[in-house]
Amino acid sequence: MIITRQKPQEKIDEMVAPYGRVFIVGCGTCATGCGTGGEEQVKAMAQRLGSRAIGWAVVESPCDARINRRDLAARKGELEGADAVLCMACGAGAQAVAEYADKAIIPALDTLFIGKTERLGRYFERCRACADCILLETGGVCPTVRCSKGLINGPCGGQVKGKCEVGDYKNDCAWVLIFNSLKRQNRLDAFRKYRPPKDRSAKARPQELASR
């Protein structure tokens, strides 16, 4: 899931201030899961904006141009009458909505990371979309994200009792997790394997995938 956090309300108020008529778009998928852009939060935002809010919609997945066309077509009149669109979705969603509406876009959320949900309000970063996934070799634990130094060939000298020196020994050392996972799976040969540096050229930005 894409993990988002709402910007401070004062910051949102500041961004909204120049616009008299604002249409609000929420996200029915990740931002609903995060409790940052679901119906409840969108309604609360509409209430906060008062008469400025001329309408709102929670789009099933606003990062999908097809779903925007499907879910926002019936709201075209309201969107056209708006001076700006306030989007309660991740950055990808906000950009897709901006393209669809062709209006000033007010991003109400900050996009933090791709993460695992433990429960509502408790999320852990798990993937940085490196385009070169090595989870098979690392026991299902991502060293790019979970090792503070992003090491891909075993631990540094900074772990103490399985905890990482970065962040004052609060987080588990990724390479201890990797070792333990591979040991449980009887696959320690993967731990000893040398991994060449990742091919960063695969990360030329902006990335694009067009398989058909």
Q: Which residues bind to ligand SF4, rule: CB under 6 A? A: 127-130, 133-135, 142, 144-145, 147-149, 151, 155-156, 158-159, 164-166, 173-175
3-state secondary structure of 212: coil
The per-residue b/e assignment along 113-142, b for 16 or more CB within 10 angstroms, e otherwise, is bbbeeeeeeebeeeeeebeeeeeebbbebb
Measured from the CB of residue 189, what is the shortest distance to ligand SF4 in angstroms?
A: 19
Q: How far is the CB of 138 from ligand SF4 (least distance, A)?
A: 8
Q: Please, what is the minimum distance in Å from the beta carbon of residue 150 to ligand SF4? A: 8
104 vs 176 by CB, closer to ligand SF4: 176
Residue 1 or 98 with smaller CB distance to ligand SF4? 1
- What is the smallest separation between the CB atom of 207 and ligand SF4, expressed in angstroms? 12
CA triplet 182, 115, 40: central angle to 5 degrees?
A: 150
Q: How far is the CB of 192 from ligand SF4 (least distance, A)?
A: 16
Give the separation between CA 171 and CA 141, rounded to whole angstroms: 14
Specify the residue, 83 or 172, whose C-beta has the smaller distance to ligand SF4: 172
Q: Which is nearer to ligand SF4, 8 or 140 (CB)?
A: 140
Distance between CA 152 and CA 155 in Å, rounded? Answer: 8
Considering Cα of 146, then 152, then 158, then 163, what sign does the dihedral take?
positive
- Compute how many other C-beta atoms are within 10 angstroms of the C-beta atom of residue 156: 14
Nearer to ligand SF4, 77 or 157 (CB): 157
